[in-house]
Copies of this chain bind each other. A is one copy, B any other.
Amino acid sequence: MLITDLIVTPIAFADPPLLNSTGVHEPLALRTIVQLVVDGDVVGLGEGSGERVVIDRLKSVRDVVVGQSVFATSAIEALIDETFGGDGGGLSRIERRVVFSIIEVACLDAQGKLLGVPVCDLLGGAVRDAVPYSAYLFYKLDGHPALDGRPPIPDSWGPALDPSGLVAQARLMIDEFGFGSIKLKGGVFPPVEEIAGIRALAEEFPGLPLRIDPNGAWSVATSIQVARDLSGVLEYLEDPTLGLDAMATVAARASMPLATNMCVVSVESFAEGVAKKSVGVVLSDHHYWGGLRHTRELGALCDTFGLAMSMHSNSHLGISLAAMTHVAAATPHLGYACDTHYPWNRSDDVVKPGVLRFVDGAVPVPSGPGLGVELDHDVLERLHRQYVDSGRTTRDDTAYARRLKPGYDPILPRY
């Protein structure tokens, strides 16, 4: 059961104008789809970052991966480390794991298909039949404005630039998906406005756990003030400020746990984060932690050091959602609803509809072999053409924000 090919396909898909601390989501989000062929026959699927540098690295390890057993994921990781690590490559372990994670997921999908079992069963089995996700709210523009001769791109979500806009967005999302918790991407407006947004959500959805994530947009002093203002309102406060030391200072004064996908992000930073007591909740993301087995290991790390575990998301499609769902189902220590951008991007999905669905805010673990999802080759072809035609190779929310608002300054901390 040897890997005979690794097909790397960059794609671009529609993304609404979501706001964050560094700018605005561009009209197209980038992603890479990997098809890992085993014995010229079975195909395992992987999905990850669409950054040009990741695509180039995936292509350059093709010859290293081809010929390996599809079960030898640890050996493949070692080969990727050899290729990119040390003096020659000089990539950090997290950069290498970004590449490996896409291939590992594709290997596990192929393994499951070869063996006739779902991926979660290769990870110790599901401890939950469905994985709860949170409603991931964003401040957003009404639509993408006309630019460079391109017509405006409206979307059905409408604008969300104040508390009532957020509440309306949450209502839409909860009505459709049934989410039982809410996360707000903050760091966009002055904290007093975002606090008002959270308070409006708390009032409108009593009992629903709430989180806010300003992506490090706040100073330590501001973070402490927000934590005080929202005491008893938030289940956790995500990355209010940047760096393990600043987070530790805030954590010592906040009544709710701090969560992170920005300061404890790797093998290297975990030990330091533990020593400094920077966070109470680590947000796993299999794309950064090196795949599904390493994500389960992160659960053991968190368990051992008394940290809770949740899950982070970036703009993604169905292959990633399936992988996130399998690993979350198979990770006992994961105790919070996970983040997902899927509601924002699902209309352009590369997987055929039918398997991935939200029931009461949770995605039932796909029961078919492997990840349990099937690639729609027509959509893949369309999204790949869209990628090529766009000429884009990297995500740059700041540059796009400056096109819309000259002089936009993404400096952090902003408030």
Contact = CB atoms under 8 A, between A and B. Distances in A.
Interface of A: 69, 71-75, 77-78, 115-117, 121-122, 124-127, 267, 270-271, 274, 293-294, 296-298, 300-301, 303-306, 330, 332
A294 B293 CA distance: 11
Contacts of A115: 115-117
Q: Is the interface of A mostly helix, strand, loop or mixed?
A: helix
B125 A74 contact: yes
A117 B71 contact: yes
Given A117-B115, A125-B73, A127-B74, A300 B303 contact: no
Contacts of A69: 121, 125
A127 B81 CA distance: 13
A360 to B, nearest CB: 21
A79 to B, nearest CB: 10
Nearest to A329: B74
A122 B300 CA distance: 18
Contacts of A71: 117, 121, 125
A245 B116 CA distance: 50
Contacts of A124: 72-74, 293
Contacts of A72: 121, 124-126
Given A71-B117, A127-B78, A267 B304 contact: yes
Contact of A75 (B126, B267, B301): B126
